[in-house]
Homo-oligomer: A and B are copies of this chain.
Amino acid sequence: MRFLHTADWHLGRLFHARSLLEDQAHVLDQFVALVRDVRPDAVLIAGDVYDRAVPPPEAVALLDDVLARIVVDAGVPVVMIAGNHDSAHRLGFGARLMAAQGLHVAGRTGPQASCVTLHDAHGEVRIYALPYAEPAAVRDALGLDLPSHEAALQAQLAAIRATHPPGVRAVAVAHAFVVGGAVSESERPLSVGGSGAVAAEVFAGFDFVALGHLHRPQTIGERVHYSGSLLKYSLSEAEHMKSVSLVEIDGAGQVTIEPIALQPLRNLRVLQGELATLLAQGMDDARRDDYIYAVLSDTGALLDPMARLRQVYPNALAMERTVLARSGQASAAGRQLRELDTGTLFANFFREVADADLDGDQRRTLDDLLADMAAAERESA
């Protein structure tokens, strides 16, 4: 049985204030063509389909179009789950109606994981869809006290194992941060005041685990796999090879994973050097439309470098100067700040103002407050 596994489309995402919708539509056209070509038994989309709970209407229209082309036109079923960026309610609209057509959407976490059963020459394969959910939401659905993401996922997986017939191949589609995975700047942390990470071992017994959340394509062990995001969504991903994954499970449950690259409309590249050199090189650059982040090594004054860069690279996003970074560390510090979560930022702020670290009680109060705020934001979305 063969799947195309993808995740983290983040439709509607802005990058340096630019909409990436055209770029997203461009690679999704290739993805639809790939689906028609490969004709997998199913497409697995492991969450963060949209970049935010209320995506722009153009992103809704794009998803609608892509899914209709895969499910209706190509006749290939889709199993899609909500990620931490999606609104479970909104993504789940029409799920019962669309399931009959082959679009299986898991938005909210229910008492039982939704399951899609497919068949090949070797028998059944059951695909269990586990949308992202806060531990509190899983606790409500299952009626168990679950203190962490790991405990929540474990409880859901235990419930699946309790009814899964022995000898039948099992696939899980989930959105989680598995311990040991390599992170990127564009992933929103799953948890405040705690890693939110889960051990890969919680998925023991599954023949394949199609994950979303981490944007770098990677496999943890042999069967726990991140397809990676659709596009490069942060500078830290400039060197990634973005791809979707063609996964084959044979009759014995043996898995092979093949990455298939999609060609972006505009690549994201970091160019380093003196401005004059970059401008000169740019004249011969066949991909001048790429998104460019320039790291300028000039030591003297530069007149309007961004405008000059854009004359050669019209989609240049931003620049930094190494000389400034070396002297004041301003830019490097800024980049570092963006990587910190809110709790750490607040703790740093507290230290600056109060000249003391948060004590254990204070830190717990802060963590509780941030968790409440995150939950409230999710509720209202």
| Interface, chain A (partner B; CB < 8 A) | 54, 56-58, 60-61, 63-64, 67-68, 71-72, 87-90, 92-98, 100-101, 103, 380-381
Known: A60-B93, A93-B63. A101 touches B100 (CB 8 A): yes
Chain B residues with CB under 8 A of A68? 96-97
CB-CB under 8 A from A60, the residues of chain B are 89-90, 93
Q: Which B residues lie within 8 Å of A94 (CB)?
A: 64, 67, 93-94, 97-98, 103
Cross-chain pairs A/B with CB under 8 angstroms, 16 sampled: A56-B380, A57-B87, A57-B381, A60-B93, A61-B89, A61-B93, A64-B95, A67-B97, A68-B96, A68-B97, A71-B97, A72-B96, A94-B94, A94-B97, A97-B103, A100-B100
Pair B95/A98 contact, Cβ less than 8 Å: no
- Report the minimal beta-carbon distance from A140 to chain B, rounded to whole angstroms: 14
Most B CB contacts (10 A, CB to CB) among A63, A87, A101 go to A101
Residue of B nearest to A378 (CB): B57
Residues of B within 8 A of A103 (CB): 94, 97
Residues of B within 8 A of A54 (CB): 54
**Distance (whole angstroms) from the CB of A103 to the closest CB of chain B:** 5
Q: Complex formed: what's the CA distance from A129 to B83 in Å?
A: 34
CB pair B93 A93 closer than 8 Å: yes
Q: Which residues of B contact A92 (CB under 8 A)?
A: 61, 64
Kindly list the 3 A-B residue pairs having the minimum CB-CB distance in the complex, ordered from nearest.
A57-B89, A68-B96, A94-B94
CB contacts (< 8 Å) of A98 on chain B: these are 94, 97-98, 101
Instruction: Report how far A18 CA is from B92 CA in the complex, Å.
Output: 26
Q: Which of A64, A68, A90, A97 has the most CB of B within 10 A?
A: A97
Which B residues lie within 8 Å of A58 (CB)? Answer: 89
Tell which of B72, B95, B96, B381 touches A100, judged by Cβ atoms closer than 8 Å: B72
Chain B minimum-CB-distance residue to A90: B60
* Least Cβ–Cβ distance between A97 and chain B, in angstroms: 5
Distance A100 CA – B60 CA, assembled complex (angstroms)? 20
Residue from B63, B97, B381 in contact with A72 in the complex, judged by beta carbons closer than 8 Å: B97
Task: Give me 12 other A-B pairs in contact (C-beta within 8 A), A67-B94, A68-B96, A93-B94 excluded.
Answer: A57-B87, A57-B88, A57-B89, A58-B89, A61-B92, A61-B93, A64-B92, A68-B97, A94-B97, A94-B98, A97-B98, A98-B98
A100 to B63, CA, bound (A): 18
Docked complex Cα distance between A60 and B53 (Å): 13
- Residues in B with CB closer than 8 Å to A95 are 64
Query: Inside 8 A of A67's CB, which chain B residues have their CB?
Result: 94, 97
**A199 CA / B67 CA spacing, docked (Å):** 40
Q: What separation, in Å, do the CA atoms of A63 and B57 have in the docked complex?
A: 19
What residues of B have a CB within 8 angstroms of the CB of A64 in the complex? 92-96
Across the interface, name the chain B residue whose C-beta is closest to A101.
B97
Q: Chain B nearest CB: distance from A94 CB in Å?
A: 5
Q: Which residues of B contact A90 (CB under 8 A)?
A: 57, 60
Q: How far is the CA of A303 from the CA of B310 in the complex (A)?
A: 69
A340–chain B nearest beta-carbon distance, Å = 30
**Listed residue (A72, A87, A92, A94) with the most chain B CB atoms within 10 angstroms of its CB:** A94
Minimum Cβ distance to chain B for residue A96 (Å): 4
Distance from A79 Cβ to chain B, minimum over Cβ atoms (Å): 14
Query: Which B residues are CB-close (under 8 A) to A63?
Result: 93
A323 to chain B, nearest CB (A): 41
How far does the alpha carbon of A72 sit from the alpha carbon of B96 in the complex, in Å?
Answer: 8
